[in-house]
């Protein structure tokens, strides 16, 4: 499989130089700033992720500043960004790098993949953007650009990577990877591509069909509906919260929840609750899951945590708000 010709590469890079969005880690590709952007933007749209990137960088401007903080501090700063395993991995990575002499991120993608939370794409993106290492990165945007240029409905990952490797502009690998990502994010979009503005329109086989959105074939993922109950136990000192486990919300604090629609009785027994009352329902979508939770309130005379003193998820915020809690 052959890659893009040099003339097409130049047109794409010229377009990128003129039209690229002004993102803070592009003008000053500090390795830590680039790495944080990649962690934040995994499964998060740019308009949301940019605000979270600024917040993370203000709180943890260096690897050392994150490494010297607790994982709870990192999770608290991460609130609202979702997929909290990313925050835990980023903290573990910072701790690992800070323990080295010198405490610097490696430039080689193979060495980067030895760190927590870094796979082939993130390693290639950080290596090329921060260190100008000649390696091709492939994300969802580049996958779509590839599929449309070659009019492939079901492109194979192996072929996409081969095409990206062959197409890599060796003299500007970081800019090249970002140019293809930018092309997919702003021009070659999933539903309404702006083919007339695309620097690769002349060679794009999908554009020539008149139906570019056919490529690639969409892969729809249905949400899993979860019905259950949430128990808000109020005390004079706050709310009964426990630290969650698992990959999605692990490390965050929250109220007791059961994902069994018939599990309220067991939930109350496990937390020594006899009297409780219903205060409403919460519907919350997250990570291809859709929670439908009946919220119950109970009272207790001891224990309790101030919810503002620990990191909690947006799901738990909504549960607490339904129970009458207001963030100060």
Positions annotated as catalytic residues are 38
Work out whether the CA dihedral 8, 183, 190, 222 comes out positive or negative: positive
Using DSSP's 3-state secondary structure scheme, residue 101 falls into coil
Nearest C-alpha neighbor of 125 from the set 37, 57, 250, 189: 37
Indicate the pairing of strand 224-235 with strand 289-299. Answer: parallel
Beta carbons within 8 Å of 68's beta carbon, 6+ residues apart: 98
Spell out where the chain has E strands: 224-235, 238-239, 242-243, 253-254, 257-258, 277-286, 289-299
* Separation of alpha carbons 102 and 105, rounded Å: 9
- The tokens for 294 are 């009946």
Strand partners, 280: 295
């Amino acid at each position: 499989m052959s890659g893009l010709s040099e003339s097409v590469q130049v047109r794409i890079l010229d377009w990128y130089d003129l039209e690229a969005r002004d993102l803070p880690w592009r003008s000053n590709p500090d390795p830590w700033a680039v790495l944080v952007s990649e962690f934040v933007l995994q499964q998060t749209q740019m308009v949301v992720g940019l605000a979270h990137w600024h917040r993370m960088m203000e709180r943890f401007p260096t690897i050392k500043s994150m490494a010297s903080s607790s994982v709870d501090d990192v999770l608290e700063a991460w609130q609202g960004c979702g997929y909290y395993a990313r925050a835990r991995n980023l903290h573990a990575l910072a701790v690992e790098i800070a323990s080295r002499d010198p405490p610097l991120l490696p430039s080689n993608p193979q060495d980067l993949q030895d760190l927590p939370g870094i796979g082939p794409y993130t390693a290639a993106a950080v290596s090329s953007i921060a260190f100008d290492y000649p390696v091709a990165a492939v994300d969802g945007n580049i996958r779509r650009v590839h599929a449309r240029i070659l009019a492939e409905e079901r492109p194979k990952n192996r072929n996409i990577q081969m095409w990206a490797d062959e197409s890599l502009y060796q003299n500007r690998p970081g800019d090249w990877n970002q140019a293809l990502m930018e092309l997919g994010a702003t021009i070659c979009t999933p539903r309404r591509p702006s083919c007339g503005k695309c620097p690769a329109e002349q060679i794009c086989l999908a554009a020539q069909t008149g139906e570019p959105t056919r490529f690639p074939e969409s892969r729809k993922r249905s949400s899993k509906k979860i019905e259950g109950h949430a128990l808000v136990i109020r005390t004079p000192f706050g709310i009964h919260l426990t630290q969650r486990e698992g990959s999605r919300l692990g490390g965050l604090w929250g109220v007791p929840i059961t994902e069994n629609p018939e599990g309220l009785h067991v939930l109350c027994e496990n937390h020594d609750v006899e009297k409780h009352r219903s205060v409403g329902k919460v519907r919350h979508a997250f990570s291809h899951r859709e929670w439908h939770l009946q919220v119950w309130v109970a009272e207790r005379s001891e224990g309790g945590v101030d919810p503002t003193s620990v990191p909690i998820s947006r799901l738990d915020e909504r549960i607490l708000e339904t129970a009458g809690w207001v963030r100060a």
